[in-house]
Amino acid sequence: MGIFSKIKDAIFGKKARANPNDGVILGNAPTGGLGAGDATAQTVDVEAVLEDKYERAGQDLNWRTSIVDLMKLLDLDSSYDNRKELAQEMGRTDYSGSAEDNIWLHKRVMQELEQHGGRVPASLRD
């Protein structure tokens, strides 16, 4: 499993389901008894899920702009090697771990979360 898959699973939940009438759910919302055949496309409010995790974390993490803090918030290894692997998954082969690289990586992860069904505000992806 890649690093991005771990990020996505930590936010969306592995088995999150949406009711067609609900529209937006949190990543780990209860399934409400839906069977496998009832699963529909979902929109996960990424900011709400992360803000909830932040409130429960008990640490001051700048997850809105820092890829290191975002990974820490999700209980993922934020080491240089893992960030480099994540950058490679996102299409960047020249990742050096600089502040600029980390800002790019954070924004790229948010863009990718949006492409995978997350609702991500412009302030987190642009």
What confidence tens digit (pLDDT) does each residue in 93-120 have? 999 999 999 999 999 999 999 999 999 9
Query: Which domain covers residue 63, as residue numbers?
Result: 3-116
Does 72 fall in a domain? yes
Which residues are registered as beta bridge partners of 44?
Answer: 25, 118
Convert the pLDDT of each residue in 39-80 to its tens digit. Answer: 335 689 999 999 999 999 989 999 999 999 999 999 999 999
- The whole-number average pLDDT for the span 83-100 is 97
Does 123 fall in a domain? no
Instruction: Tell me: pLDDT of 16 over 90.
Output: no
Q: What confidence score (pLDDT) does residue 42 get?
A: 60
Does 125 fall in a domain? no
Is the Cα torsion angle 23, 27, 32, 34 positive or negative in sign? positive
Predicted model pTM: 0.79
What is the residue-wise DSSP string for 100-123? HHHHHHHHHHHHHHHHTTEE--HH
Q: Measured between alpha carbons, how far is 79 from 38 in angstroms, rounded to an integer?
A: 39
Look at the chain and report how many structural domains it folds into.
1
Does 121 fall in a domain? no
